[in-house]
């Protein structure tokens, strides 16, 4: 195995580690929301520093590989994909941290009927699954699995589109819980962006493996 191959394998392993941490961040945020565990939410906020550290390390490693090896073809596409995936993962970590802040800042546990009506927990679960699936696509260079993410993102979009009406209806009936209803609406908006980040990463995997650029192409 060449020195370049060793460096690329190490970079891939590092990216997978960051990915698993971000998935865990999202999982802990969901659990904190369900159980109103402010300590767990604070743990998510604290661990965001680890996500940021990963991002900086992966960026530096990519820059070093560019400088030392001048990669071409599939190796070059892999590096370019990792750089963008790294950014998407960091943004997803920011989203988990943002939702964790809502949990810390609110004064009472979230109404389960609100969570059920908005499908917020289902949205959390689907977001986690998308992140795991796109990770598996990355590890296995599986472009078919990467393409499956696009359809799953539509489910998150549907929940997001219905959220305004659902939350407005809830507020009319529970005016005293307006603040937490608005927090849940903001949570749904953030989770919709998790779907967008997953879709972006799926596109990068297809670019890396198949040399196909999907960004900004109109839907069939």
pLDDT at 220: 47
SS3 97: helix
Q: Which domains does the chain have, with CATH numbers?
A: 3-210 (1.20.58.220)
Q: For residues 45 and 174, what is the distance between their CA atoms, to the nearest angstrom?
A: 29
Mean pLDDT of 138-145: 97
pLDDT at 119: 96
Residue 1: band (very low, low, confident or very high) from pLDDT cuts 50, 70, 90: confident
Average pLDDT across the chain, whole number: 95
For 48-73, write each residue's pLDDT tens digit. 999 999 999 999 999 999 999 999 99
Question: Is the Cα torsion angle 23, 134, 212, 77 positive or negative in sign?
Answer: positive
Q: For residues 88 and 194, what is the distance between their CA atoms, to the nearest angstrom?
A: 9
Residues ≥6 apart with Cβ < 8 Å to 77: 207, 208, 211
Residue 82 has φ and ψ, to the nearest 5°, of -60, -40
For 171-213, write each residue's pLDDT tens digit. 999 999 999 999 999 999 999 999 999 999 999 999 999 998 8
**Whole-structure pTM value:** 0.93
Mean pLDDT of 94-115: 95
pLDDT at 216: 59
Q: For residues 99 and 184, what is the distance between their CA atoms, to the nearest angstrom?
A: 9
Whose tokens are 């799953």? That residue is: 152
pLDDT at 104: 96
pLDDT at 217: 64
């Amino acid at each position: 195995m060449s020195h370049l191959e060793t460096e690329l394998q190490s970079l891939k392993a590092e990216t997978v580690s960051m990915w698993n941490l971000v998935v865990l961040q999202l999982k802990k945020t969901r659990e904190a929301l369900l159980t109103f565990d402010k300590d767990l939410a604070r743990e998510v906020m604290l661990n965001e520093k680890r996500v940021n550290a990963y991002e900086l390390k992966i960026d530096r490693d990519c820059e070093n590989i560019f400088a030392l090896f001048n990669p071409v073809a599939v190796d070059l596409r892999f590096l370019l994909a990792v750089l963008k995936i790294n950014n998407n993962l960091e943004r997803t970590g920011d989203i988990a941290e943002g939702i964790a802040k809502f949990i810390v800042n609110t004064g009472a546990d979230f109404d389960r009927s609100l969570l059920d009506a908005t499908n917020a927990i289902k949205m959390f679960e689907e977001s986690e699954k998308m992140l795991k699936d796109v990770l598996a696509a990355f590890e296995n260079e599986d472009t078919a699995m990467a393409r499956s993410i696009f359809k799953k993102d539509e489910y998150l979009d549907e929940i997001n589109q219905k959220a305004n009406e659902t939350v407005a209806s809830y507020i009319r009936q529970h005016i005293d819980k307006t603040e937490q209803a608005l927090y849940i609406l903001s949570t749904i908006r953030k989770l919709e962006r998790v779907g967008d980040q997953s879709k972006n990463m799926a596109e990068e995997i297809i670019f890396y493996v198949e040399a196909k650029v999907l960004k900004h192409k109109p839907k069939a």
